[in-house]
């Protein structure tokens, strides 16, 4: 399909509101203030450069802030996000499998800066794991897409049903089910079953700080930080981990594993309150005592242009 109509979805131009009304800074450390001002400038410059490059191409495009997106994205051939992984994750909740997305990391972490300022504060910027482009290679990546030299990869997402009703959003990275108060105990049980209803393991009863389920794309995020394993990017399996289980006993080995596309996870919630968090704080749904939650990979894939090593690449010749 020819790509002629694009949507440029932007992280807010000034994403760090560190100034109060009247121009008084909320940040008292001058080094931190200078750092945040630099990040804003780098992001603005990245947006300007992307727009200049798009103006040179035989495409129709329009920009929109990610904060202004409230309806499914339709009637475009491709979405380009300018920000980081958070901006691409935000866009994914408004995309089905018909519109591909390219992420541009507008503010990548600078190793020398992190080393220089490590004794003062955390100078990490954006990881951009899902972003195939930066300002340095955006035009080349865009040309490769427009001329059909690279095609998007089909990345798995998570489908969630609450009391048998499908939720509208699908998670690209992960789903966390937990009590809304991080200090409270989450009580729930879960079991893995096949699509034909066969249960492959006994019910696991848990008292913990919650349950996380991730896709392959999300296996390098919170799941990895918690001690999970990295999955091949195009895997359709889902990985799960019970967070901080209390006295798991003989079920300890069942607290972290994965399940296949022909399987699903059934969760029964036994706390008074709970929240389903999708992709961090992107989307959330409330749950209550007695609710049932079904988790599977039965969601439309997201077509994402990935960086070299992940992408499906066609010959340039």
- Name the residues annotated as catalytic: 85
Alpha helices in the chain (DSSP H): 30-55, 85-92, 111-117, 138-146, 222-225
In whole angstroms, what is the distance from residue 40 CA to residue 291 CA? Answer: 43
Q: Which two tokens stand for residue 18?
A: 């560190």
| DSSP conformation class of 218 | G
Whether residue 51 contacts residue 8, with contact meaning beta carbons closer than 8 Å, is answered with yes
Mapped onto helix, strand or coil, the DSSP state of residue 312 is strand
- Would you call 82 exposed, middle or buried from its count of C-beta atoms within 10 A (0-12, 13-18, 19+)? buried
- Would you call 239 exposed, middle or buried from its count of C-beta atoms within 10 A (0-12, 13-18, 19+)? buried
């Amino acid at each position: 399909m020819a790509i002629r109509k694009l949507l440029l979805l932007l992280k807010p131009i000034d994403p760090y509101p560190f100034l109060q009304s009247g121009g008084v800074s909320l940040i008292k450390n001058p080094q931190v203030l200078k750092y945040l001002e630099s990040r804003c400038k780098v992001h603005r410059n990245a947006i300007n450069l992307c727009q200049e490059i798009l103006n040179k191409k035989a495409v129709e495009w329009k920009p929109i802030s990610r904060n202004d997106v409230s309806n499914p994205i339709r009637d475009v051939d491709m979405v380009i996000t300018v920000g980081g992984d958070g901006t691409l994750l935000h866009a994914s909740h408004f995309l089905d499998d018909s519109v591909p997305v390219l992420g541009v990391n507008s503010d990548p972490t600078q190793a020398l800066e992190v080393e220089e300022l490590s004794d003062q504060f955390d100078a990490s910027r954006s990881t951009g794991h899902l972003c195939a482009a930066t300002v340095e290679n955006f035009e080349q990546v865009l040309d490769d897409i427009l001329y059909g030299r690279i095609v998007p990869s089909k990345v798995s997402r998570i489908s969630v049903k609450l009391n048998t009703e499908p939720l509208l959003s699908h998670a690209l990275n992960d789903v966390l089910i937990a009590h809304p108060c991080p200090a409270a105990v989450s009580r729930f049980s879960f079991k893995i079953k096949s699509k034909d209803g066969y249960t492959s393991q006994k019910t696991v009863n848990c008292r913990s700080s919650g349950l996380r389920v991730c896709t392959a794309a999300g296996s390098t995020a919170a799941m990895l930080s918690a001690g999970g394993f990295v999955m091949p990017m195009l895997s359709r399996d889902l990985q799960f981990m019970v967070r901080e289980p209390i006295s798991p006993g003989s079920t300890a080995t069942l607290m972290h594993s994965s399940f296949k596309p022909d399987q699903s996870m059934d969760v029964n919630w036994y706390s008074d309150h709970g929240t389903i968090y999708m992709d961090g704080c992107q989307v959330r749904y409330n749950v209550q005592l007695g609710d049932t939650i079904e988790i599977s990979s039965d969601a439309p894939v997201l077509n994402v242009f990935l960086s070299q090593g992940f992408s499906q690449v066609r010959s340039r010749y």
